[in-house]
Amino acid sequence: MSLNVTRMSLNVTQCHYWTWYNSIVQSCTELPRVQLCALCVGWKWLADEDGGNENNKGGIRAREIRAREIRLYNDDCIKKLNDIPNESIDPVLTDPPYGINYKSKQFPKILNDKRPFTEFIPLLREKVKSTGCLMVFTRWDVQQQFIDKLKENDFKVRNVIIWDKQLHGQGNTRSAYGSRYESIIFCSGKEFRFPAKRPVDIVSERKLPSCRMVHPNEKPVGLLETLIRQVTNAGDTVLDCFMGSGTTGMACVNSDRSFTGIELDEGYFNLAQSRIERKVEEKRIYDESLGEGLLF
């Protein structure tokens, strides 16, 4: 069990704006393998990204602070998803096992990777808000199985987004093209709207060199951050039910989104937790350097 408490303070500065820090006390009644952090990060001008209006209070500009919450569960998502409240998730951004079943020299095989793992899809239907969306990483040869399962469960499949990895992989070098992309299935809720400009369906982000990878299927944080910013507003809650090394959570910290992550493998869970904690600390230092004092 972990408990983080942010203090309450009021700060009136000479620069004619006031800030306030919210007090957050989160207790966690979950199993010991659950980490719950109450984050107090990411306060910004009201007119920012959210599309809200700047709040003028007699020449004093109000800044807003929002609580960011990070919930990490070392559990089987098929069990854990039942505990997630309905209509509580803005987007689901996830990278399930899709049947590679490959054992590299560097890493052990990942769990449940013998075939495309689609069992989680029916469990998500009630969790995502009608204003939310779903993004599922997959691969060209199994993507139809995910699309069929999504459609069966009433998800509106809108696009397949191409992640251009900028570098191609190895594989059959004589008689197959060098594979340079992965696909991401995009479904949107009835009331979903892009928060800013309509994005295009190709995202280009260099894949990590294998010598820098800490998980066999690790995605670059920049890629997840781009996708998150394309489909959410600051303060939204992102779910990744196959969190792996915690990439989606790190991207949420960078972009001031709340995050719920589930990972079955204890080793990868511990790795994800420490990477996200490190990212929170980096973000706190970065925000402080901009003069945006944070309590955490």
Q: Which residues bind ligand SAM (CB under 6 A)?
A: 76-78, 95, 97, 110-112, 215, 217-219, 241-242, 244-245, 247, 262-265, 268
C-alpha dist (Å) from residue 107 to 58, 100, 267: 59, 13, 12
Q: For residue 87, what is the DSSP state?
A: T
Give least dist CB 115 to ligand SAM, A.
12
> Do the beta carbons of residue 134 and residue 91 sit within 8 Å?
yes
Q: What's at 241, amino acid-wise?
A: C
Minimum distance between the CB of residue 74 and ligand SAM, rounded to whole angstroms? Answer: 9
Beta carbon of residue 97, minimum distance to ligand SAM (angstroms, whole number): 5
With respect to ligand SAM, which residue has the nearer C-beta, 7 or 114?
A: 114
Answer yes or no: are the C-beta atoms of 246 and 276 closer than 8 Å.
yes
Q: Beta strand 128-138 with 181-188: parallel, antiparallel or unpaired? A: antiparallel
Nearer to ligand SAM, 76 or 126 (CB): 76
Instruction: Name the minimum Å distance from CB 283 to ligand SAM.
Output: 18
Which residue number, 165 or 296, has a Cβ lying nearer to ligand SAM? 165
Cα–Cα distance, 95 to 183 (Å, whole number): 11
294 vs 8: CA distance, rounded Å: 11
Rounded Cα distance, 111 and 103, in Å = 11
Smaller CB separation from ligand SAM, 139 or 158: 139
Residue with nearest beta carbon to ligand SAM: 244
Nearer to ligand SAM by Cβ, of 250 and 280: the residue is 250
Beta carbon of residue 94, minimum distance to ligand SAM (angstroms, whole number): 8
